[in-house]
Every structure is written in structure tokens, then in C-alpha cells.
Amino acid sequence: MSLQEAALTDPTKLGEVFKHHLPFLRRDTLQRLADVVTALIQARSTKHARLALHLPGHASSSVKLRRVERCLHDPQLDQDVFLKLLLPLLPDDKLVMTMDRTNWEYGEADLNVLVLGVVLEGFTLPLVWTALPHGGSSDTRTRERLVARLLKVLPAKQWRVLVADREFVGREWFAFLRRRGVKRCLRIRGDSRVDDLRLDEGWAYVEPGQVVGVLEKANIYGQVMQLVVTRTPEGELLALATDLKIDETRGVYHLRWSVESTFSAQKSRGFDLEASAMTKPARLERLVGVVTLAMAWCLRIGTWCHEQRPIKRKKHGRRAVSLVKYGLERLAAALRWGTSDRTILLSLVMQPFPAPIQHSAQDVGY
């Protein structure tokens, strides 16, 4: 049996799987990372003391606690490491990308993380992220650096479109995405100018449920783009500036909600990211990487388990549990009790997601 095959039957050897993708890092460093990720899946908490309880071996609790800290404080585990472990999971298909922020408070610290990821199975799998040194919105330069970092390893020809909400607008930002060859589907604010006409005044007539597509492209933030306008059932104007066709724009924009499912899974309904006391930007980014890797594994396994035994749907039509939670429960049980399906489940953690038949918004209940 090869080391890689052994790693798929024994989670204490998952570092060997990581070594295949990260040959420049020491095996003990990678095994420490694998141990903390599997501990996170079982503990469902980012508190160091709870993670330590689920580390393998017979060492004392204090020794295990230091092992957790060594992993989360290790500067070798930068974002390039996590990206190299996440990229093999992507399907061979055009990818819908989303950008958004998640923020929370720990004591007096205002923690704020900007994320860029890919829509997979109703969730956004973060690929690159950055901890902002302030609360509130991100600036154009920060967004540009994040996109540029991902484009180095995932060229624009593999992006179907970038979807984002009203925070992510501006002349320089729109122009940057065009220069980089990234198609856009971006919600714009009501006070935006479209061909020198204020949006919320020129399209005030749009009724809830009505969709208005301007036949001729308009000047929006200095770019010639398609404009699609509708109104939500609550009466709020929803306007999209896009490079897509009118008939596909609204459906693609709805995929933006997948990032909210991700933040929910990473935080209160999954891995309890907010419970960590880590506030320094570099360490916070490393922790987000560990949580993202755990979530990616659970989503991948949940997808496979759903193919084998579909999740029941409730009366309102939504799944009884999300794919992440479905995979989390199966993998946590396999790791803790060594169930008969452990080998199969661990073999999935570095296999690509199946190519989606069609992109659709996540319809789950927790």
C-alpha cells in the first residue's frame, strides 16, 4: 500500500495527500494542518481548547493545545497553501465567481474579511480572501489585488462571470474588470447614473416582478454595459449592470446568495468562526483558510452523499439540511467512530466537484 493510499484509510496520514500538492512543505507541518482540519470537523468550533480535544494521539491536553496554536500561528501556512489545496476541487467548467464581505465583533475588535470565491452546489467556496484593517466597505485597490491574485492561477477564460452586490461599484473597479477580461454582473445603487439619468428616477415605473431590459447598452460608471432592472416583492429597485444577455442575468445574479449560505456555514450554523479569539490579520486569514478547507471537504462529501441518498425535502420544497451539514455529519461520524464508509469519504476530499448541470441558488433549510 502506498503512502497516499494509506492516507485515505487513516486520517492521521492525510498529510501525505497534502504533500502531493505542496511538496515544498514539511510532512509534519502538513499533517498538523490535516489534524486541525479534521479536529474542526468533529469539534464544530474554532476555540483552541475544543480543537485540542479532537487531535489524535495520547499526548496531554496542554501539548495538544500547543499543537493547535503552532498550526494556526505557522507563517508557512499562507493563502497560497490553501489555494493549492482548493483549486484541485474545482470542476472543469466555466465558473461563476462571487465577491462579498463577512464581519463580526470579538470584544472591541471589529473583524472584517473580504472573500472572492466560486459558486459550487449552492455555496460559494472561498478561494482568496483578505482581512480588512477596518470595519465597513472595502476599497477598489483591495478588491483589485484580490482579483489579480486569483487570476494568476485561474485565468479569466475560466470565469463565466463575477457577481457582486451594491458595495462593489465604481468607475475604476468596472474598468479594471473589463481590462482583465472578467465579465460582470453587478448590482448598482439607485442613485447611480445611467446615460446621465439617475436610475431610481428613470426607472421608477418598474413594478414588482416586472423585468425591464434596455435594448441598447448604456453608459454605466464609464462602461458600456447591458442594464436589467426589476423590483423585488418588497418594492425595492434591483438594477444589474452586466456583460451577460438579458435573459440569463437575473438567474445568475441570484447565485450571489450562495455566499450568504457560506458565511452561515462558516459561522453559527457550522464551524463557529466567530468563537475564535484570533484578531491579528495574518492569523485570522489562516483561520479562515482552515475553516474553508473543512467546509470544502464537507460540501464535497455532502454532494456525493446526496447523489447516493438524496436529502429529503420539507413541505416548502427546501432540503431538510444543507449539503455542507449533510457532509459534516457523515464525515464527523466517520472520523470519530471509524465507520465503514470512512475510506470512501476521505478519498473524496481532494477530488473535483462534478460539473454542474445548471447553476441554481441554494434551497436548503438548516
Torsion sign across C-alpha atoms 337, 341, 343, 344 = negative
- pLDDT (0 to 100) of residue 9: 52
Confidence class for position 1, pLDDT limits 50, 70, 90: very low
Distance CA 123, CA 302 (A): 12
The rounded mean pLDDT for the chain is: 91
Domain that residue 4 falls in = 1-77
pLDDT of residue 283: 96
Tell me how far apart the alpha carbons of residues 272 and 270 are, in angstroms, rounded to a whole number: 6
The answer to whether residues 132 and 235 belong to one domain is: yes
Rounded mean pLDDT, 189-199: 94
Q: pLDDT grade, residue 3 (50/70/90)?
A: very low
Q: What is the mean pLDDT of residues 55-78?
A: 95
Q: What pTM was estimated for this model as a whole?
A: 0.92
Residue 134's domain is classified under what CATH number?
A: 3.90.350.10
**pLDDT one-digit tens code per residue, 153-176:** 999 999 999 999 999 999 999 999
Is 288 within a domain? Answer: no
Same domain, yes or no: 119 and 194: yes
Per-residue pLDDT at 147 exceeds 90: yes
Q: Is 85 part of any domain? A: no
Do residues 69 and 200 both lie within one domain?
Answer: no
**In this structure, are residues 271 and 265 in contact, taking their beta carbons and an 8 Å threshold?**
yes
Q: Among 230, 259, 288, give the residue marking a domain's end.
A: 259
Phi, psi of 309, rounded to the nearest 5 degrees: -145, 95
Mean pLDDT, to the nearest integer, of 311-340? 91
Assess whether pLDDT exceeds 70 at residue 141: yes
- Of the chain, the percentage scoring pLDDT greater than 70 comes to 94
- Listed in sequence order, the DSSP H helices in the chain are 3-7, 15-21, 27-43, 48-53, 61-72, 79-86, 140-151, 171-179, 199-202, 246-253, 258-266, 281-308, 323-337, 342-347
- Asked whether the predicted pLDDT for residue 362 surpasses 70, the reply is no
Q: Residue 310 falls within a domain, yes or no?
A: no
What is the rounded CA–CA span in Å between residue 121 and residue 99?
17
* CB contact at 8 A, 168 and 186: yes
Q: Is there a single domain that holds both residue 118 and residue 158?
A: yes
Q: Specify whether 6 is located in the same domain as 53.
A: yes
**At 214, is the pLDDT very low, low, confident or very high (cuts 50, 70, 90)?**
confident
The residue type of 365 is G
Domain annotation covers residue 200: yes
- Do 68 and 117 sit in the same domain of this protein? no
Same domain, 105 and 250: yes
Residues 204 and 64 reside in one and the same domain: no
Residue 366 has pLDDT above 50, yes or no: no
Whether residue 309 lies inside any domain: the answer is no
> What mean pLDDT is predicted for residues 97-123?
95
Q: Considering only CA atoms, which of 107, 116, 33, 17 is closest in space to residue 74?
A: 33
pLDDT of residue 94: 94
Split at pLDDT 50, 70, 90, the class of 4 is very low
CA dist 236 and 75 (Å) reads 45
Among 28, 16, 129, 125, smallest CA distance to 80 is for: 129
243 and 97 in a common domain: yes
**Residue of 90 and 363 predicted with greater confidence:** 90
- Report yes or no on 269 lying in a domain: no
Total tally of structural domains belonging to the chain: 2
Given 219, 239, 259, the domain boundary residue is 259
Instruction: Check whether residue 105 and residue 71 sit in a common domain.
Output: no
Side-chain half-sphere CA neighbours of 8 within 13 A: 13
Task: Check whether residue 5 and residue 125 sit in a common domain.
Answer: no
| Within a domain: 359 | no
pLDDT of residue 357: 64
The reply to whether 290 falls in a domain is no
What mean pLDDT is predicted for residues 253-263? 95
Q: Is the pLDDT of residue 339 over 90?
A: no
Are 239 and 165 part of one and the same domain? yes
Domain limit, last residue, from 240, 259, 278: 259
